[in-house]
């Protein structure tokens, strides 16, 4: 029910988890650990699922903060918990407050969890292709630096997201990305369909972070679109003609 990465396990006094869809109370298309209030699921079930996830992490449910994600690059510094109904519109967060759990939601987009073990600062970001190209990973690092982190010490886990075998894009997609940075051409492979490509989202994000000077970057080896028993997936739901999908939670916290 929880996936952990060694890059973050090496951060002392930090707990993290990339939760799968298993272990909650939601039903149907949302089964079962759906943590997204905006998914269309019953809010009471979403709230209970969040409580379950926090129990697995070892914290009270009211210590979790998430944002109203908009596929942008806004990053906020979190100092105290906020209720879900007042969540800021942002896609990245940072905190130096022990016991305050930063959470991001995803269903194919990449969840990023970050820590600076020396400064005791953590961060989290939601990176779909729009946010990744616009610089949401860089925004998360910048928010951490406001709190005393240094990018040369930051360790990043890129959680389960849509894999390159599942992420087919049109002919117009690579051009604006590769024109900015020719090195990113390696994150596109020719697809079976003519004039289509397969995009390595996690690899691209890792490249952006590495170029920024972040030294430790680990990718989870999962494809959310190809593992229906373990993960929610926007693209899989569209392919199946399903009207809704759940959102998986990823979280990081300074153990205080």
Using one digit for the tens of pLDDT, what is the confidence trace for 224-246?
Answer: 999 999 999 999 999 999 999 99
CB 225 within 8 Å of CB 167: yes
Confirm whether pTM is higher than 0.85: yes
Q: What is the mean pLDDT of residues 108-136?
A: 98
Tell me the three state secondary structure of residue 248: strand
Structural domains of the chain sorted by starting position, each given as residue range(s) with its CATH number in brackets: 2-163+200-254 (3.60.140.10)
Q: Which residues contact 205 (CB under 8 A, 6 or more apart)?
A: 110, 112, 127, 132, 137, 158
Tell me the three state secondary structure of residue 190: strand
Burial (0-12, 13-18, 19+ Cβ within 10 Å), 198: middle
If one compares 256 and 99, the residue with the highest pLDDT of the two is 99
Q: What is the mean pLDDT of residues 203-232?
A: 98
Using one digit for the tens of pLDDT, what is the confidence trace for 50-80?
Answer: 999 999 999 999 999 999 999 999 999 999 9
C-alpha to C-alpha distance for 106 and 103, rounded to whole angstroms: 10
Q: Place 256 in a pLDDT band, splitting at 50, 70 and 90.
A: confident
């Amino acid at each position: 029910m929880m996936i952990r990465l060694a890059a973050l396990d090496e951060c002392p006094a930090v707990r993290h988890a990339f939760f799968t869809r298993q272990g909650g109370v939601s039903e149907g298309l949302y089964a079962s650990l759906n943590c997204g209030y905006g998914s269309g699921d019953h809010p009471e079930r979403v709230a209970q699922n969040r409580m379950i996830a926090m129990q697995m992490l070892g914290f009270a449910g009211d210590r979790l903060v998430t944002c109203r994600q908009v596929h942008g690059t806004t990053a906020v510094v979190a100092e105290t918990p906020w209720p879900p109904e007042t969540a800021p519109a942002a896609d990245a967060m940072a905190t130096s407050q022990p016991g305050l759990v930063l959470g991001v939601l995803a269903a194919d987009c990449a969840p990023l969890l970050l820590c600076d073990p020396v400064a005791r600062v953590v961060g989290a970001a939601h990176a779909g292709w729009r946010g990744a190209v616009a610089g949401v990973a860089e925004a998360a690092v910048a928010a951490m630096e406001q709190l005393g982190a240094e990018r040369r010490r930051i360790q990043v886990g890129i959680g389960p997201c849509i894999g390159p075998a599942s992420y087919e894009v049109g002919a117009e997609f690579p051009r604006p990305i590769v024109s900015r940075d020719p090195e990113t051409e390696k994150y596109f492979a020719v697809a079976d369909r003519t004039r289509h490509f397969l995009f390595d989202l996690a690899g691209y994000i890792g490249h952006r972070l590495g170029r920024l000077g972040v030294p430790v970057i680990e990718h989870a080896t999962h494809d959310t679109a190809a593992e229906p028993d373990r993960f929610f997936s926007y693209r899989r739901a569209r392919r199946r003609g399903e009207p809704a999908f759940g959102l998986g939670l990823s979280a990081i916290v300074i153990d205080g």
